[in-house]
Amino acid sequence: MRYFVIGTAGHVDHGKTTLIRALTGIDTDRLREEKERGISIELGFAYLDLSGGGRAGIVDVPGHERFVKHMLAGVGGIDLVLLVIAADEGVMPQTREHLDIIQLLGVDKGIIVLTKIDMVDEDWLGLVDEEVREYLNETALKDAPIMHVSGTTGEGLPELINRIEAMATDLPERSAVGPALLPIDRVFSVVGFGTVATGTLTSGTLRVGDSVDILPSGHHSRIRSLQVHKEKVAEVEAGHRVAVNVTGVEVDDIGRGEAMVTPGVFKASRFVDVRLFLLKTANRSLKNRARVRFHLGSAEILGRVLLLDRNELDPGEEGYAQIVLEHEGVAAKEDRFVIRSYSPMRTIGGGRVINPNPERHKRFRDEVINSLATLEMGTPLEQVEQLLGDRATKMSVSEIAEATGLGKDEAASLCRQLVEDGTAVQLRVDDIPLYFSGGRFQEWKDRVLGTLREFHRAYPLREGYPREEMRSRTLPQASPKVFSAMMNYLEGQGAVVLQPQTIALPHATDVLPGRLKQVIESVTADLKAAGIRPDSISEVMARAGAESDLYSEYLSYLTRQGILHRLTGELYLHTEAIEAAKESLEGYFRENGEITLGEARDLLSSSRKYILPLLEYLDQQRFTKRVGDKRKLSKK
């Protein structure tokens, strides 16, 4: 028989802790105040060994209304609920609230345990039976068996254990595949071992030696050891209560409400998209932007409800909403949650997570509602396509898997299918495949190409548009690495030409406007004819009729094209003049091996004014090498 988790629920002083002690021999009240007051304040934990060789973990929750938030921290991972009702009191306020919570969290397997039967007679017990069955008639536990038990005398305990064992065979298996998610409900320190965190592992597998992240605090740690009910184990699968001894984290660093997760999969977020149900018993409508207490896993986070398609939600209604949290939380697709009113504190609703890490939405947008409907009810392929379409930038397979609740292998396969269909684009960054919506990518590509066309029309002599400026203008949320990968993709398509610092359209400067072309041709011809004795570049530009404020752009264009070469601020030579000088010098070097400045001046029939800058330029180009006051042909 497999391992599973039982949770108690019920009104204060209805005998939950006494029942657990009678079943297991374990007193789950560990605090002195609990023993003094005779009520549970914190979560308690025990286990029950079953005849088939299995073991059930048990979470005992407080029943007092003041401690409902503690109750909520412990019931998120249970498989089977024991709804405890005292036979001498019947259904009470916290019975109702606890059952609302159980239903909102999707727990539909349970046993109704009427306790304290030693305190009532048969007739009274029959009346309570009828009251309970009538109350349960419209709930998820309407068909749950009712068991009569006395935790004091032990009456009914064997029958209750038999019923638990029988129901355990029909409990659904939790998936041990995929990333691990452990909502932390308790943190303490053990002498000689350090920090220990406990919780019910809701998905995946934890192993000794695994690296883990603790979110939202952001601590990174490693698992030193694992225990399941005080027994050391090498690994633990989803569905188990587990104590995790972690390294490098102090007790004060983490606490209840955080989650221990597989690194690189889950993200902390202040926004959660949900389908929200308001209980029929809520005493008023829920208005847009109402402040609530959002309970997810073991966390309680204050937040506001952003109703996406209406201004208020009436009792008994459900709709799409985005929960805007006051600090970050961790969620997974399909997680169940509960909301309680801010003040007075009472359970008013709950629902399911549709997108655990969305972008912020605007209200009354058809595209937002349609997107949420697809993410909630669409096929896996439709969900992945919709998710990519909702994002302005890339998503990794891990992010897609987390947001859709799919396994990583299935998510990767669906992404490849979308790429083949042309509805998604794959890029690789640091050898990790990243995916974009094909439609979103095309929109971005169109913005880039449109920006470049406008730029080239305005500045036809410039090399291209600055790359970082293009990123901040067209996709500021993309990292430089991701943006670079996107630009490389466009270059591979032949859509752009990349330079180290700029981006351009192919052949953008091949054909210049008439006036610019005339100036370029005039300057080129002037310097070509002048050889290595040209006039200053300002004089050459003026003769060509160039506008003074465009001198630098003309010169940048001519040097970039390899037509001119700058030797000093005002001295530019044509490429043919430099090549002719190099040819003459090479011949001289073959015969003489070296040359002085004066010899170079005589050889090239020029003056020191030109020859010295020319030789220094050739030194920089590693054509020549200066040795003392002479130069030799460089060996490069």
pLDDT for 1 equals 44
pLDDT for 622 equals 93
60-91: per-residue pLDDT in tens? 776 444 435 555 655 667 888 899 998 888 88
Q: Which two tokens stand for residue 122?
A: 């048969």
Low-confidence residues of the chain: pLDDT under 50? 1, 30-42, 63-67
* Exposure string for 52-87, b = 16+ CB within 10 A, e = fewer: eeebbbbbbbbbbeebbbbbbbbbbbbbbbbbbbbb
Q: What are phi and psi of 624, to 5 degrees?
A: -120, 165
DSSP three-state, residue 33 = helix
Question: Domains of the chain, with CATH numbers?
Answer: 4-168 (3.40.50.300), 181-261 (2.40.30.10), 269-367 (2.40.30.10), 378-508 (1.10.10.10), 512-636 (1.10.10.10)
**CA end-to-end distance (rounded Å), the chain:** 78
CA angle 163, 166, 167 (to 5 degrees): 85
pLDDT for 76 equals 66
Question: How many Å apart are CA 194 and CA 535, to the nearest integer?
Answer: 80
H/E segment holding residue 496: none
What is this structure's pTM? 0.78
Nearest to 194 by CA among 155, 225, 232: 225
DSSP three-state, residue 233 = strand
95-149: per-residue pLDDT in tens? 888 888 888 888 889 999 999 999 988 899 889 899 999 999 988 999 999 999 9
pLDDT for 241 equals 86
Nearest to 491 by CA among 478, 481, 505, 475: 505
Question: How many Å apart are CA 571 and CA 578, to the nearest integer?
Answer: 12
When computed from its CA atoms, the radius of gyration of the chain, rounded to whole angstroms, is 38
pLDDT for 104 equals 85
Question: How many Å apart are CA 440 and CA 387, to the nearest integer?
Answer: 11
pLDDT for 414 equals 96
Q: Which two tokens stand for residue 575?
A: 């490429």
Question: How many Å apart are CA 530 and CA 603, to the nearest integer?
Answer: 17
